[in-house]
Amino acid sequence: MKKITLTSWAALIVIVITGFATADVLDPIAQREKIVNDANWKEMETVTITLNEHSYTPGRITFKAGKAYKLVLKNEGEKAHYFTAPEFYMAISTRKVEAPKQGEIKAPHLLALEVMANGTLELFFVPVIKGNYTAYCTIEDHRKQGMEGALQIE
């Protein structure tokens, strides 16, 4: 009787530990569809970043993991600018990228977005992996001139 009780406890502990371990490892790319579908898009928060020569405004944004976001990249400059953030794009589940009134793109993950002068792109996504990430412009010396932004997922 005593032996059975101990075995049951051991089994229960294994189940609990395994449960925690799997719950902790969300893969934003592999589980993209489920993460995107589970997010509450009615409570979506819109965040706008203005691109210009040579800056992102605001230069620092904090996102909450699991929340639905629309990130609007609005280029008010006279040149095209990039929003390159490969590590950030791997840490989020992307629902779609929309060029308002023109079309939308659905893909498992992104590497970079380029916004033309006076153009706008909208990124619909759910932040997943907590951490600090960097966005930057890869055109000429734009990054050196100040086109670098901090993206945090908490």
Closer Cβ to Cu ion, 81 or 95, answer by number: 81
Q: Tell which residue, 83, 44, 49, 48, has the closest CA to residue 64.
A: 44
Q: Which of 24, 154, 39 has its CA nearest to residue 93?
A: 39
- Give me the least distance between CB of 64 and Cu ion, in Å please: 28
Q: Which stretch binds Cu ion (CB under 5 A): 5-13, 33-41, 118-126, 139-147?
A: 139-147
| 95 binding Cu ion? (CB under 5 A) | no
Nearer to Cu ion, 91 or 137 (CB): 137
Tell me if 49 sits within 8 A of 71, measured CB to CB. yes
Q: Is 49 in the site for Cu ion (CB under 5 A)?
A: no
Q: Does 91 bind Cu ion (CB under 5 A)?
A: no
* Spatial CA neighbour of 87 closest among 130, 51, 33, 36: 130
Among residues 91, 115, 123, 137, which is the contact residue for Cu ion, using CB under 5 A? 137
In this chain, which stretch among 15-23, 61-69, 119-127, 129-137 interacts with Cu ion, using CB under 5 A? 129-137
